[in-house]
Amino acid sequence: MVDASTFMPSAGMFQGVMVAIVWGTIALALIVPLALFVRNLIKYRYKAEIYKRRQDSFDGESLPESQILSGKAGYFVRRKTGKTVFRIKYGIMPWQQIELTKLPDPKYMIGNKVYYFQLNKDNLVQAKLDIDWEGTYKLGAVEDDLTYGAYLDFAEKTSVLPTSNPNIPILVGMGVMAVIIVTMVIGFYFLSQAG
């Protein structure tokens, strides 16, 4: 006769599993926010300000108001396309971010801060900050934006249409290592047979 109690876990085993689950949950609750904090420190290295214009005024008589979005920004590579984008995150929620395919010109950054303003709906342009000696400042569009845009387009086209295979040096190295290993194995075989 088979006793069913031999297959059932004991109370001590059940208590051990529950303790492991509780401590695992506490460890995850501490590690995940710390990992996200460290990732944000590494990835988001820049500050960004976006001066957005509202496209319509509700009363019809007043001018459209502007909205200033401030946040952190950084360079990211999209996983699907492999294209580098400049992501500006201005809130906690995942949808509170803007991805710009046109990378900012570092020449017009002030320290680690970049400015953008809105020309049309969903059209953000990098701005440069002109400061005069009276202490006032004015935002204006970057003049040589076309040359920098052409440079980025050229760099993107060369990365999309590579002329050489990047895997060739890796494959050649692996082939050389395989030949060396096979030669060593054959040499050790003959040494073991001679002795």
pLDDT score at 156: 65
pLDDT score at 79: 81
CA dist., res. 95 & res. 89, Å (int): 9
Query: First and final CA of the chain: distance in angstroms?
Result: 63
Q: Does some domain include residue 18? A: no
Pairing of strands 46-53, 66-77: antiparallel
CA dist., res. 135 & res. 70, Å (int): 22
Q: What is the Cα 141 distance to its own chain's centre?
A: 26
Q: What is the Cα 75 distance to its own chain's centre?
A: 6
Q: How confident is the model at residue 26 (pLDDT cuts 50, 70, 90)?
A: very high
pLDDT score at 144: 52
Select the more confidently predicted residue: 101 or 150: 101
Q: Which of 10-14, 115-119, 184-188 has the weakest average pLDDT?
A: 10-14
Number of compact structural domains in the chain: 1
Helix (H) or strand (E) holding 66: strand 66-77
Q: Which of 69-73, 94-98, 158-162, 174-178 has the weakest average pLDDT?
A: 158-162
Q: Does some domain include residue 184? A: no
Q: Does some domain include residue 137? A: yes
Q: Could you give phi then psi for residue 181, rounded to 5 degrees?
A: -65, -45
Q: Categorise residue 181: left if φ over 0, alpha if ψ from -120 to 50, beta otherwise.
A: alpha
pLDDT score at 149: 61
Give the pLDDT confidence of 92-106 residue by residue, as tens digits.
888 888 888 888 888
Q: Which of 100-104, 156-160, 168-172, 186-190 has the weakest average pLDDT?
A: 156-160
Q: Does some domain include residue 8? A: no
Domain hosting 81: range is 44-169
Mean model confidence pLDDT for the chain: 78
Residue 15 has pLDDT above 80, yes or no: no
CA dist., res. 112 & res. 41, Å (int): 13
pLDDT score at 108: 83
Residue 68 has pLDDT above 60, yes or no: yes
Q: How confident is the model at residue 177 (pLDDT cuts 50, 70, 90)?
A: very high
Pairing of strands 66-77, 123-131: unpaired
Residue 159 has pLDDT above 90, yes or no: no
Q: Does some domain include residue 74? A: yes
Count Cβ atoms below 10 Å from residue 89 Cβ, excluding itself: 20
Q: Does some domain include residue 188? A: no
**Contact present, 83 and 77 (Cβ < 8 Å):** yes
Q: Does some domain include residue 106? A: yes
Q: Could you give phi then psi for residue 84, rounded to 5 degrees?
A: -80, 130
Q: How confident is the model at residue 180 (pLDDT cuts 50, 70, 90)?
A: very high
Task: Tell me the torsion sign for CA atoms 164, 165, 169, 175.
Answer: negative
- Determine the number of helices (DSSP H) and then strands (DSSP E) in the chain: 3, 7
Q: Does some domain include residue 110? A: yes
